[in-house]
Each structure stands twice: as structure tokens, then as C-alpha cells.
Amino acid sequence: MSPGAHPALALLEFGSVAAGIVAGDAMVKRAPLSGLWAGTVQPGHYLVLVAGDTASVVEAIDAGLGASGEALLDRVFLPDVHPDVVAAVRGATVAGAIEALGIVETSFVASTIEAADAGVKGAAVAIVELRVADGLGGKGYVLFGGAVPDVEAAVEIGSGRVPPGHLVRAAVIASLHPEMTENLEGDARFGGRVGRDLRGPDATR
């Protein structure tokens, strides 16, 4: 999956691995998709991500819901996904000094992606990072970077798209300290940060 390659993107999040596999199979059989990516995430959930033209993705969603809708936890459908969201889902991050930082933290993966897409479309911000599920107990968060008013707008717009009960917390830091910027870059896990510092700046693993 490459940034800007697909006009539509959808993700279904299931509380059952079996249900997710059944849904993924039904989805890829129903419509000619550009791609399907599926697998487990913490805490025992199953994600199915599909991309392609809008009509095909809609057909795939219907097939997935018809096959395993009772196990669905959350979903997102982006008929015109922002290319920065595609890049962020693939693991792309933005490093360097940040004037202001916005955080939207949600309890489900699909909600995080929805917030990221809405925020980056609604304001002149960059997606600094998007992290989902693994190592987070199933939660996710998106970090927005940019000028203070733009970041405030992105957080407001993004969190406003999160379904009721799925928003954990949203925040804006007007002037992020350089040491926090450093800690947000690279390995975001606490153990990874502390371990690297204890081993020294030249440690590679």
C-alpha cells in the first residue's frame, strides 16, 4: 500500500479472531480490492483493512458485516482517504522540532484512524505519528504537529469524529519541550526509551 494509491480505505475491528478471519474472507471474495491486510492485535482483536475504489470497498464492508457483524467493535470508512493517513498507517513518522503538539487517544484502532483523517483534512497540520493496538492494550493515538491554532483545530475536528465512548483523551501542548520531542521520536515504548539510554547513545539494540 503506497501513499495516495487508493481512493478509499476501510477498517473493521472485531472482538473475535475467528469472526475477523471469516469477515476478511467474505470481503475479499465479494469485491475486486486493491489490497486486503488482516491480522491480530492486542488484546485479542482482529483487524481487516481493505483498499480500492469506493464502490468495491463499500461492497467489501457490507460483506464483512454480513459475515461477522455481531462481533464488530468499531469500523471506519474513508471514501477519500488523505495520503498522509495511508503513510502513517504504514509506520511513517515526522521527526524534528514541533511548535505545537496535538494528541487524540481512543480506545479502538478504527476510531484513531478516523480522527487522524479528519484532523489532517481539516487543518494545516502534519501527522507526527499514528500508533494503534499492539503495545497499547488495543488503544490507539494520533499526534498532530503544526502551529498552535492549526493543531487546536485538528484536535477538535479529529476528536469530534470519534464515536461516543471511544475517546480516551484529547490534548494540545502549545510549546513542546525538546526533551519530550526526543522521547516521542523513535521507540515510543517506555522500556525502549529507558533501555536505550542505559545502554548509551551508541547502542544499536
pLDDT, one tens digit per residue, over 10-67 is: 999 999 999 999 999 999 999 999 999 999 998 999 999 999 999 999 999 999 999 9
pLDDT at 196 over 70: no
Residue 177 has pLDDT above 50, yes or no: yes
pLDDT at residue number 4: 47
CATH of the domain spanning 83-199, picked from 3.30.470.30, 3.30.70.1710, 2.30.130.10, 3.10.180.10: 3.30.70.1710
- The answer to whether the peptide bond before residue 43 is cis (omega within 30 degrees of 0) is yes
Given pLDDT bands bounded at 50, 70 and 90, which one contains residue 6?
low
Domain(s) of CATH 3.30.70.1710: residues in the chain:
8-78, 83-199
In the chain, what percentage of residues exceed pLDDT 70? 90
User: What angle, 0 to 180 degrees and rounded to 10, lies between the N-to-C axes of helices 109-122 and 148-160?
Assistant: 140
Contact 100, 176 (CB under 8 A): yes
Give the class (CATH, top level) of 8-78.
alpha beta
Higher pLDDT, 172 or 132: 172
Cβ 28 vs Cβ 35: under 8 Å? no
What is the average per-residue pLDDT within 112-140? 93
